Amino acid sequence: MIDLYSLATPNGQKVSIALEEMGLSYTPHTIDIMKGDQFKPEFVSVNPNSKIPAIVDQDGPGGKPFAVFESGAILVYLAKKSGKFLSKDPRLESETLQWLFFQVGGVGPMFGQFGHFYKYAGAKCEHPYPVERYANESKRLLKVLDTRLAGERGGRDFLVGDEYSIADMAMMPWVHCLKVFYGAKDVLGLEGFANVEKWVARCLARPQTAAGMKVCDF
């Protein structure tokens, strides 16, 4: 019922994890951003911003096809469609959305900028300022996450309440990326964020989440 247009980057993995965890039927379509697929008219018609991921729900509101772009908006849409991973308790729902928006507005952009300057732009920008700026901000955000996961009762399994949610689905791929794709374990001191490290492992131990990480791989 759902067409997924994506690539297995952290932003793309958020949505494929959600589709796997929620048990929704979907067809994956790989959008190779290295080759410029995101600028092709057929994709722009789904996402006018030319970014992955995007979905088309063939059984959308009113039974008609419905396109959704922006990964955070997609996660909320899928959670409401499936009735899963977004609490109906008003307090827990708000907390989940707060941490989701923390990822969308902070973690994703800052980690992404760090990765760009640390891994890709070394030959173009020899000044240390960009890497230092985004490394420091990434470490600050990791500390926020680590403190949240420490909780007040000796540790949280997940970001909100006692249950896995779309906030975890959004956040984990970006944290995982720091180590496995950017190779920044040492420069960011990732081992110093023990609660975050355990939480990433806990998320990846879920079979559906592990499967979602590999959809539209490259």
Reported as a single tens digit per residue, the pLDDT across 21-51 is 999 999 999 999 999 999 999 999 999 999 9
The predicted model gives 157-163 an average pLDDT of 94
Q: 214 with 8: CB under 8 angstroms? A: yes
Residue 161 has pLDDT above 80, yes or no: yes
Q: Which domains does the chain show, CATH number per domain?
A: 2-85 (3.40.30.10), 90-209 (1.20.1050.10)
How far is it, in rounded angstroms, from Cα 96 to Cα 86? 7
Reported as a single tens digit per residue, the pLDDT across 97-139 is 999 999 999 999 999 999 999 998 978 888 999 999 999 999 9
